[in-house]
Amino acid sequence: MIAADAALERLREGNARFTTELGRGGVGRVRGGPLPTVQEPFAIVLGCSDSRVPAEIVFDQGLGDLFVIRVAGNVVAPSQVGSVEFAAERYHTRLVVVLGHSTCGAILAALEELDRPSQQRSPNLRSIVDRVRPSVEGLLHTELRHDRTALIHEAVRANVRASVDHLRHGSEILERLIQTDGLKVVGAEYSLETGHVDFFDP
């Protein structure tokens, strides 16, 4: 574990390197010149907060390319829906990707809660688990309950599908943009083991 003061210093040093690189032309950071002054993201990514899945790096994109919303378990709550609506309307971004990932901690927590309910979680953490629960609960009544690895894999995908479905059908604004203006919402899973993203719900 790194102490808070050391972590803060690490961030300061990283930003110093970033701004120095920008001063030298920003190789690999900013495409086509200086820092963008307007946003024109070509995709919206609703992903997990997991520190190993930064969308800009996973998709090799630069500043201004992606509108990224991150929350544990890539769950959809009103603030996430509102963020997607904002980007889709304000920036006319026409692709939304719900990006889950292998061995997601929020999925594991939901499965553990279903196996052994606990009263120890904070109400805020419980709200995330409760949003994941409906998408994975049914899997425990299938043959997958005998294969933990396969269960987790399918649970990750079921949770992504639930978030995709919520975005497609849980917002009048997004529904209208899907029906009349070419908005597309797709699901995907990032493999922590290989780095590959599988767009499995186009």
Same-domain pairing of 68 and 16: no
Q: Which domain holds residue 165?
A: 38-201
The C-alpha atoms of residue 56 and residue 180 are separated, in whole angstroms, by 29
Same-domain pairing of 2 and 80: no
Joined tokens for residue 93: 């971004």
Same-domain pairing of 101 and 19: no
Starting at the edge strand found earlier in the chain, the sheet holding 66-70 runs: 66-70, 43-47, 95-101, 184-190, 197-201
Same-domain pairing of 158 and 175: yes
Same-domain pairing of 21 and 119: no
Same-domain pairing of 23 and 63: no
Beta bridge partners of 6: none
Count how many domains the chain has. Answer: 2
- Of 80, 116, 78, give the one whose Cα is nearest residue 98: 80
- Of 154, 38, 177, give the one whose Cα is nearest residue 96: 177
Yes or no: say if 102 and 68 are a contact pair by the CB < 8 Å rule.
no
The C-alpha atoms of residue 177 and residue 166 are separated, in whole angstroms, by 14
> What pTM, to 2 d.p., does this model score?
0.88
Same-domain pairing of 155 and 179: yes
CATH number (domain holding residue 64): 3.40.1050.10
Same-domain pairing of 88 and 170: yes
Write out the chain's pLDDT in tens, 202 residues.
899 899 999 999 988 988 887 766 654 545 555 667 788 899 999 999 999 999 999 999 988 899 999 999 999 999 999 999 999 999 999 999 999 999 999 999 999 888 888 777 788 888 888 999 999 999 989 999 899 999 999 999 999 999 999 999 999 999 999 999 999 999 999 999 999 999 997 6
Joined tokens for residue 200: 């499995």
